[in-house]
Every structure is written in C-alpha cells, then in structure tokens.
Amino acid sequence: MVYYSDGKIVIRNMEESDAFIITEEEIKQGWDAAVDKYQLRLKDQSEGRAIALAAEYCGNVAGYINVYPDSKWGAFAGKGYPEIVDFGVLEKYRRLGIGGKLMDTAEGIAAEYSNTVYLGVGLHSGYGSAQRMYVKRGYIPDGTGVWYREKVCEPYTDCCNDDDLVLYFSKQLKE
C-alpha cells in the first residue's frame, strides 16, 4: 500500500527486499545493523501488530519507520496508544524531506487509533538529530525519566549509554 507519493518521495508498506537493502546500506554507513530487526517488523506487520513502512527517494529505498497501534512496551505500554518504533533515514538521503514525510505518515496512521502517540529516543549523540526533530514536532518527555532495557532506570543506578538507554516522548495528535 502506498501512503504518500509526490514524484520523488514514496512512503509505502515495507517489503522483504527492503530489509536487506536497508541492512546493507546501514552496514556501509558503519552502523551495527542486522536484517533480523527488519524481518521482525515485517513479521509483526503480517500478524497485524505493526505497520512497517519504507520510504523511497527517486526509486531507491531511503528510510523506514514502524507504528505499533497498541504497543506492549515502554512508558505507555498497554494504554492503547500507538508507538513509533525504529525510525531512520539512510545518511545519503538525509535533508531531502524524507524523515518528515515518514513521521507525517506514521502520525497519520497513529491518529487512526488514538489521539496520543509516543516513542522512545536514545540518549547518545547518534540520536541528536532525532531528539531535535521530535521536539520540533511537538513531542514532550513523558515524565518517567530515563529508561534502560525496557524499565525505568532508578536514580543512581548504573547503566550504559547505548541504544537501550532512552527517554520516552508523547504527542497529542488531535484535541
């Protein structure tokens, strides 16, 4: 299914071949990427638990985002709020409006399920541009503090500044 198309950018359901292309491109960027992450999103989509999206730019796979309509983890687990998970744009396609269109599409899908959407964002510098983007789009911290490995990181507890150290944000989509 195609959710958005303007002649250059296309946002559509992710396909199996996209998983391999994205993984290969992320490895070329120096990222620690594995195809099983994307295959899990595709499996969740086929079982009705997620909507896995891919972005194309001029016919080339350029990014991805996933929406879990009733997420079972994180700060809003089990509250019926959709969660945006695993959002990324390949480095060579950044600053072309792809990330914004992926987010617009994901938020539009989320709005079909709830007036609130949430996401977790990593705290290390690799997530800096995402952190800024979410704030500019109106996301606010949920108030539970930092989470590590799917639970609240209690004050003065040791943790590692890796991809599992996140802060949850939410956004009101409609009044």
Total count of domains within the chain: 1
Size (the chain), residues: 175
Can you give the CATH number for the domain in which 21 is found? 3.40.630.30
Q: Which residues contact 64 (CB under 8 A, 6 or more apart)?
A: 14, 18, 22, 38, 41, 52, 53, 54, 55, 86, 87, 88, 102
Per-residue pLDDT of the chain (175 residues; tens, 9 = 90+): 999 999 999 999 999 999 999 999 999 998 888 999 999 999 999 999 999 999 999 999 999 999 999 998 889 988 999 999 999 999 999 999 999 999 999 999 999 999 999 999 999 998 898 999 999 999 999 999 999 999 999 999 999 999 999 999 999 997 6
Query: What is the reported pLDDT for 33?
Result: 87
Query: What is the reported pLDDT for 32?
Result: 84
d(CA 87, CA 118): 13
Q: Are strands 116-122 and 83-89 parallel, antiparallel or unpaired?
A: parallel
Query: What is the reported pLDDT for 174?
Result: 78
> Which residues form the domain of 72?
2-172
